[in-house]
Amino acid sequence: MRNALMRAGRFTGSRGVGGSTRIRPAGPGGRRQSRLALPLLVAMPLVGVGAGSADAQVGDALRNPAESLVSFWAGLGDATLTRLIEDALGANPNLKAAEARIDGARAARTEAALDLAPVVTASSGYSIQRLSSVAVPGAGGSLPGQDIWDAGVQMSWELDVFGRGRRTLQGRNAVIGAAEEGARDLEVVLSAEVALEYFDLRGTEERLVVAQQNAENQRRSLEVTRERLEAGRGTALDTDRAQAQLSGTLAVIPLLETAVASGQYRLASLLGQSAATLDIEPAANAALPTLPEVGGTVDPEASLGQRADVRGAERQLAAHSAFASAARAEYLPRVSIGGTAGVTAHAFDSLGNSGTPRYAVGPVISWPLLDLGRVKANVDAARASEVEAAAQYQYTILNAVEEMETSVVAYTNARERLRHLEDAAAASERATDLARLRYEEGATGFLDVLDAERTQLEAQDRLALGRAEATAALVAVYRAMGGRWPGGR
């Protein structure tokens, strides 16, 4: 793969992370070999698609088989989530802006392609002229004026001997690829944001349900203490303790209701809707999904090509490399073939009859001999942009690897933590039922009931939070893997 990268004339990694840029001077024909010390992870098909290839297609070697962004979320079995993501992908204004950027890049590519073709223009004109007698030896007095009618065509064709136009076209192809990958990355980010907000909303709704159910249980406990107090078998202390615990739980409910409303507003904003028009099933009818397992061992190096931001950064680097080569070609002469042909007459109706034909054709060589300082400034600017794109590419790779490794570890640990939280919630519920039963039978004091109910509320609330955190970790893995799930789900 390393040899393939060198054959492509692209940036290759000769050192590990934290390497430096080394740029070789221009060689024959204005081309130069560019090397950038990138992580060894770059030694993959990802970088093999460079602007140095003749067709410079947009990341064809990078793409895996097409997979809908929505298919993974549909596999979780939540129809509401699937619909929300589909709505977001169809109506988000940022995606429309990304599509416009792609159209603009394609138009610029067409313009660059036409620069390689001959330019033919037609013209016609009329003028009246009178020559000075000084310009005509032997002429005396004033010369008469003449009507001049002219019609013709002009042709110019730059041969692109040193590759300036071809390099520009390759750069424009790469810009299209970067724009397309940017749109793809935006789709991944948007679908992940919608899923994250949706799961956060569901988690908050679950916490609200937990608080309401515990408040109802605590209300029944309060009634029991009152009945025992009226029967002379209880104490006012037990009643006040029960009332205090119930009031504390009820005080949490408005905060959770506010959080639910806030989550609905955030989700509606992502969909370009108002919260009033947001159609979401009640929490009781839509639990958080079962968390899938990570399939096999995650290989960050092999997964880099799945990420649109990495592919887009590579396309940006390829574009700036091609533009830098085109800028260096300005040091060399331009070779063109120019020509003109037409008819000149003294009257308009004579153009096709007695008009005098004319033509001229020949090569033209131009060289900015006295403007090399401007050329050098443009080359320096293009080279700086190239180095900047290389550094950004390196950062994107390092960040992608870190996100993939971190997200998978966090998700695995979140699933493990969730199992313990489920066990704790189940045990606390059994303990609460037993404490109430023992209290009603007089085998224990009410303090044990209060402690059990408080523990149950905390355990169930932590479980709801743990589910929300685990689904957030799931979203992080999906996003880090470029809109796919490890193992190909």
* Each residue's pLDDT expressed in tens, for the chain with a length of 489 residues: 333 333 333 443 333 333 333 333 333 334 443 333 334 344 333 333 333 333 333 333 333 333 467 888 888 888 888 889 888 888 888 888 999 999 999 999 999 999 999 999 999 898 888 776 666 666 666 667 788 888 899 999 999 999 999 999 999 999 999 999 999 999 999 999 999 999 999 999 999 999 998 999 889 889 988 988 888 887 899 899 899 999 999 999 999 999 999 998 998 888 878 777 777 766 555 567 778 887 666 777 778 888 999 999 999 999 999 999 999 999 999 999 999 998 988 788 777 777 788 899 999 999 998 899 999 999 999 999 999 999 999 999 999 999 999 999 999 999 999 999 999 999 999 999 999 899 888 888 888 888 999 999 999 999 999 999 999 999 999 999 988 887 655
Distances in Å between the alpha carbon of 173 and those of 180, 325, 388? Answer: 11, 15, 19
Nearest to 319 by CA among 102, 172, 114: 172
Nearest to 418 by CA among 287, 291, 244: 291
Task: Kindly write down the DSSP assignment for every residue of 345-393, as one continuous string.
Answer: ESSGGGTTTTPEEEEEEEEEEE--GGGHHHHHHHHHHHHHHHHHHHHHH
Radius of gyration of the chain (CA): 37
Domains of the chain, each with CATH number or no CATH? 40-112+164-291+298-329+372-480 (1.20.1600.10)
CA–CA separation, 455 vs 245, rounded Å? 12
Contacts of 227 (CB under 8 A, 6+ apart): 234
| Secondary structure element (H or E) that encloses residue 338, with its range | strand 334-345
User: Do strands 356-366 and 34-36 pair parallel, antiparallel, or not at all (unpaired)?
Assistant: unpaired
Reading the block at residue 149, the tokens are 């009618």
CA–CA separation, 70 vs 194, rounded Å? 11
Reading the block at residue 48, the tokens are 């093999």
CA–CA separation, 13 vs 2, rounded Å? 8
CA–CA separation, 239 vs 247, rounded Å? 12
CA–CA separation, 195 vs 470, rounded Å? 12
